[in-house]
Amino acid sequence: MTKISEIDAYLLGKEVTSAQWASLMVLVKVTTTDGKVGWGETVSALRAEAVVNFVKKINKVLKGSDVFNVEKNRLEWYKHDFNLSISLESTTAYSAVDIASWDIIGKELGAPIYKLLGGKTRDKILVYANGWYQNCVTPEDFAEKAKEVVKKGYRALKFDPFGPHFNDISKKGLDIAEERVKAVREAVGDNVDILIEHHGRFNANSAIMIAKRLEKYHPLFMEEPVHPEDIEGLKKYRSSVNLKVALGERIINKNQALYFMKEGLVDYLQADLYRIGGVTETKKVVGIAEAFDVLMAFHNAQGPVLNAVTLQFDAFIPNFLIQESFYDWFPQWKKDLIYNGTPVDNGYAIIPERPGIGIDVNEKMLDELKVKGEEYFNPEEPVWVVKGTWKE
């Protein structure tokens, strides 16, 4: 039996780069009694310290458990944490532990996780660029940066053109958003997909106005067009708009995912492994999505460990659409932390073939990167914004 001896969490960070959340990461390390080590990663921005404390509590519950018993271990934590099914902090902390457990399982069996879950259905992973539009304000800013993305070989790119608007959007705001989207479409041409990020911040009426304006630019999808809790608003949006809807990054279990699919509210599911329960829960969600003919486009906006395990899923799932990638816009330390183990080549991510989640972590960097004190906060710009774009 490969028993868990210790579960540790590290809050790591350095310079603020393309976004505030990208300057931090919570790295989780699971160690077994026979010296095996697995790595996971979870949410950072605004919740980092709380999540680190949850990992410490999970350590108390799971110490001495067989690391292979991922289903049993999840149930054990669920038994002790009364609020797992409704707590983002609890679920994200456990997700990282589950990912690290699967990393150990793969290493123990000498295989990357995708081989344990179903093998390959593709040899490389089509990705779309995110994080590329740092400090873009004018349509010309967006157009120039978009051209650079295409020169790197990307065939798809996502961006948020809505500046500081929240809940409502004015006519002026609509005009500016359309100018930005039009500039990007003209810059990249018709053979590159553009994806419109709303960050779940509009009421239904504003989101519908946005869709009517932007429909002619043929976006691949509209991401989180309304507030995530506004189910009636999303139904209104679906009945009024012909564009595809992508959502799911804030879903924290398979039951929530099932609801959106059963109600016909989503075309492309953006589940995130660090929020929804790690590998164990995600493989169930993928199966449900396949049954509803919903394609997967995993949310992937954190760091290099989460990126690696997400690519393992992309390799084997049959219902794959496209993968979000910040990799080329990571701060350098995040790439160095995994020895640049998941590069993007001409718009495709290479599937990690090493056992487990497919990457090694440079533990020598951990002391240098440990964050002390409060995490970074900018009152002038919400934490989820790509840096420098909260302007009109």
pLDDT per position as a tens digit, 202-227: 999 999 999 999 999 999 999 999 99
pLDDT value, residue 45: 75
> Distance (Å, rounded) from C-alpha 30 to C-alpha 101?
7
Beta bridge partners of 112: 356
Please determine, for residue 358, whether its predicted confidence score (pLDDT) is greater than 80.
Answer: yes
Residue 18 has a pLDDT of: 56
Which residue type, as a one-letter code, is found at position 262?
K
| pLDDT band at residue 44 using 50, 70 and 90 as cut-offs | confident
Tokens (6 digits) for 29: 């390390």
pLDDT on residue 367: 93
- Asked whether residue 27 carries a pLDDT value surpassing 90, the answer given is yes
CA torsion 86-92-93-99 (nearest 10°) is 130
* Mean pLDDT across 369-382: 78
Q: Is 80 considered catalytic here?
A: no
CA–centroid distance for 265 within its chain: 20
Other residues' Cβ atoms within 10 Å of the Cβ of residue 228 = 15
| Type of residue found at 16 | V
User: Which strand (E) or helix (H) includes residue 38?
Assistant: strand 37-42
Task: Answer for the pair 301, 271: CB distance below 8 angstroms, yes or no.
Answer: no
Average pLDDT, the chain: 95
Q: How far apart are CA 4 and CA 31, in angstroms?
A: 6
User: Does position 88 have pLDDT exceeding 70, yes or no?
Assistant: yes
Query: Radius of gyration (Cα) for the chain, nearest Å?
Result: 20
| Residue recorded with tokens 């919570």 | 26
End-to-end CA distance of the chain: 58
Lowest mean pLDDT among 43-47, 94-98, 227-231, 378-382: 43-47
Residue 392, pLDDT > 80, answer: yes
Residues 6+ apart with CB under 8 A from 367: none
Digit-coded pLDDT (tens) for 249-274 = 999 999 999 999 999 999 999 999 99
Enumerate residues 6+ apart whose C-beta is below 8 A from 152.
129, 328, 344, 346, 347
- For 106-129, what is each residue's pLDDT tens digit? 999 999 999 999 999 999 999 999
Residue 60 corresponds to which tokens in the numbers above? 């108390």
pTM (2 d.p.): 0.97
| Superfamily of structural domain 4-111 | Enolase-like, N-terminal domain (3.30.390.10)
Choose the catalytic residue: 165, 198, 227, 299: 299
Alpha helix locations (H) across 1-66? 48-62
CATH topology of domain 114-358: TIM Barrel (3.20.20)
| Residue 299 falls in the annotated catalytic set | yes
What tokens does 235 get?
């139904």
Q: Cα(365)–Cα(367) distance, rounded to whole angstroms?
A: 6
Where in the chain are the domains?
A: 4-111, 114-358
Interval 8-22: pLDDT, tens? 999 998 765 556 666
| Residue 373, pLDDT above cutoff 80 | no
State both tokens at 18: 């393309």
Taking 80 as the threshold, does the pLDDT of residue 1 lie above it?
A: no
SS3 for 49-103 is HHHHHHHHHHHHHHCCCECCCHHHHHHHHHHHCCCHHHCHHHHHHHHHHHHHHHH
* CA dist., res. 209 & res. 227, Å (int): 15
Picking from 87, 99, 103, the residue whose alpha carbon sits closest to that of residue 273 is 99
> Residues 184-208: what's their mean pLDDT?
98
Q: Which helix (H) or strand (E) holds 344?
A: strand 344-345
User: Which residues, 6 or more positions from 349, have their beta carbon under 8 angstroms from its beta carbon?
Assistant: 124, 125, 127, 311, 314, 323, 325, 327, 342, 343
Mean of the pLDDT values across residues 52-80?
98
Active-site hit among 165, 198, 199, 227: 199
Q: Which of 24 and 86 is assigned the larger pLDDT?
A: 86
Query: Is pLDDT of 362 > 90?
Result: yes
Pairs from 373-381 (Cβ < 8 Å, separation ≥ 24): 375/11, 375/13, 375/24, 375/44, 375/45, 375/46, 375/48, 375/49, 376/13, 376/16, 376/20, 376/23, 376/24, 377/20, 377/46, 378/20, 381/20
Cα gap 129→304, rounded to integer Å: 15
pLDDT digits (tens, 9 = 90+) for 269-320: 999 999 999 999 999 999 999 999 999 999 999 999 999 999 999 999 999 9
pLDDT for 43 equals 83
Of 144, 42, 53, 52, the C-alpha closest to 100 is: 42
Q: Which of 46-55, 142-151, 190-199, 290-299 has the lowest mean pLDDT?
A: 46-55
d(CA 207, CA 216): 15
